[in-house]
Structure 1
Amino acid sequence: MAFSSLMASILATGFTLALVSRLPRLIKGAGNLWLWLTHLGMSIVLWLAVEPVYLFIDRLMGSVNAANLLSHICINFVFFAGGTQIALSAGRLDVVGRIRRLSVVALPLCVALMTVLFFVADLSYSNMGLNAFRREETAVVLYKLALYLYPAMISALLVKPLLRAASSSVHGVPYYSKKLMAVGFGLVIAAPVGHLAELTNRQLYWITDIFIYPAILCVLLGTTLGFISACRLSRQKVAYAH
């Protein structure tokens, strides 16, 4: 198994375990729905980033890379659910409202655009990531560009509130958590530029990765620090109660 598939499988297992462990509380009405939906979307996306899993699922769907389209749709869904959860955790109900109003129009339009471009492209066999088609098929590059349109919109709504929340954080961990997430979402905003460059010159296919991989790392580290901070705060509240 390639290193990227191995890492994706490890992360997918973690998100799946979190998904299952949070389900009983959610059923009882005590869980966090948006966080659970984010874990659900991330689990699907990450499992589809494991090549044997991708090829198996895509074979069931006709071996035309429909699994890639499913992954792209789930990524957009993750930004809706995850963006809502982050705005809620920052206490920004106004940002939650903006995300919902934007998503009513932008989310279905972006998914529709991706779907149209997917069917326009000539994808005759399974290839995870579609890299085998990028040099010859302009529709594939446009399809990949369309993936980042909705995430870039949601990221644009989150960067400033996260920076403001970071500046008001007294403790180090919440500060770095919000700062890292702000940087990560800022990189997502720039991601479409990479595919625009690729449209002009196929040799520039690597530019998007400069934005995306650091963005994933920053958001993942930021959310992990946020989780650690929340656990620490919860323990402090229990200690004070006793």
Structure 2
Amino acid sequence: MQNPPADLPDSIEDLKAIIARQADAFTVLQHSLADELAASRQELAAAKSGLQLKALEIEKLKLTIARLRKVAFGKSSEKIHREIAQLELSLEELESEASGDDDPVALDHPDASASITGETSLPEKRKRRALPDHLPREEVRHEPQGDCPHCGGTLKQVGEDITEILDYVPGHFRVIRHVRPSLSCRSCESMVQRPMPSLPVERGMPSAHLLAHALVSKYADHLPLYRQSGIYARDGMELSRSLLANWVGKCASLMR
């Protein structure tokens, strides 16, 4: 229990005046907080509305592209193909902008349907898709150095964690396998393991080399993402335009 301040007046009237002033100050503070809360709610509503509009624009563009592809024949087919290419570029930009704040795990699952009706649901736990077996693997081991940091005892391996990252070197893909052995101290049974190196897309599959290649191809070489997707598919690596757009958006948010 706190002791009362020593400088309080003895007069009851003076005490009442102090209480009245504090009550007035509390009322002013309460009104100020209420105004700030109302402003925050308005900003949140505006942000949600903006996201919903982007989602609607993306769906509208997808439907337009699908409809144009069905009628892309005859004398006007060249004009229609040019229009499809322009719409593909617009769709890439919208998807990149909308992906800057996405869930990192969801970046490797860009085709999952998202509700734009305002209803919320519990997120499903998604597992990152495995990388193709035909790609060459390069293993990078992150071994703990020295003895047990807690007691100085000898360490023995009891397991390991493996994280596969999709990398790109000029001409082909490869997979970087980050192997982090789990070691146990023979003396105090403490567990020791080196941390995972920092990745440009947290818990995502792309390496910095692959992201740099996609960005340079798009912005320096003017190669749209849907064309990059087709090139990668011929190399045996299916990377959809939506997935590449998500990665581009994530890179943009990192560089802000």
TM-score class normalised by the smaller sequence: under 0.3
Mark the structure with the bigger radius of gyration: 2
Q: TM-score, normalised by structure 1?
A: 0.27
Higher relative strand content:
2
- Greater relative CO, 1 or 2 (CA 8 Å, sep 6+): 2
Higher relative helix content:
1
